[in-house]
Amino acid sequence: MQPALIVIHGISLPPGQFGGPYIDQLFTNKLDPAGHPYFREIAGVQVSSHLLIRRSGDVVQFVPLPRRAWHAGKSSFKGRHQCNDFSVGIELEGTDDRAYTAAQYRRLASVIRVLQRGVPSLAEAPIVGHSDVAPGRKTDPGSAFDWARLRALLVPRTARRR
C-alpha cells in the first residue's frame, strides 16, 4: 500500500466513556458482546486502525503502516473510493462533542510529522476527518476536534517564531 491520505477518527467504548480495554479488544476482534449493552450492537464488526492515541497521549499501533487497516469503511476522497486502500487511520480516544486533550493534539502532531518524514507518499498528503471520507455516515472526529490547533502544531517551530 502506498498511503496518500491520513484519516483522523474519534472513538470511545462504551460510547462516551474513556479508558479501559475495550478499544483494544475491538481492534483485535476480542470484544465480548456481553461486556456492555452497546457491545451487542457492534458484535461481529471487524474494524482496525493503524494507530490509537489515548487521552493521555500514549500511542498504540494495531496495524503495520504498510498494511491496510479497516478504519474508513465505505468511503471516498476526491473521487477515489475505498480509502482503506490508500490511507493511514489514526484513532483518537474521544467523542464528537467533548474536547480532545492537549496531550492528544501534541502526540497527533508528532505522529503526523514522523509519518510525513518517514513515508514519502505522505509528505504532502491531505489530513482529513472520517466525516470527510464518509459524509452522512460518519461524524468523527466531530465538532470538538480543533483543526486549527492541529494545523498550528504542524507548522515548523522556526516558522511559528517569525
- For domain 5-12+50-161, give its CATH number from 3.40.80.10, 3.40.50.1970, 3.50.50.60, 3.40.50.970: 3.40.80.10
Q: Which position among 41, 91, 93, 124 bears the catalytic label?
A: 91
Q: What percent of the chain has pLDDT over 90?
A: 93
129 phi and psi, to 5 degrees?
-90, 160
Quick: pLDDT tens for 118-147. Answer: 999 999 999 999 999 999 999 999 999 999
Average pLDDT over every residue of 52-61: 98
Q: Is the pLDDT of residue 39 over 80?
A: yes
Q: Enumerate the β-bridge partners of residue 76.
A: 81
41 is catalytic: no
Where are the domains positioned within the chain?
5-12+50-161
Residue 161 banded pLDDT, cuts 50, 70, 90? very low
Identify which of 112, 116, 107 has the alpha carbon closest to the alpha carbon of residue 54: 107
Maximal C-alpha separation, the chain = 55
**In three state form, how does the secondary structure of 1-59 look?**
CCCCEEEEEEECCCCCCCCCCHHHHHHCCCCCHHHCHHHHHCCCCCCCCCEEECCCCCE
C-alpha cell at 20: 479501559
Contact 89, 69 (CB under 8 A): yes
Quick: pLDDT tens for 7-33. Answer: 999 999 999 999 999 999 999 999 999
Residue 57: CB atoms within 10 Å: 15
Residue 19: CB atoms within 10 Å: 12
Q: What is the pTM of this model?
A: 0.95
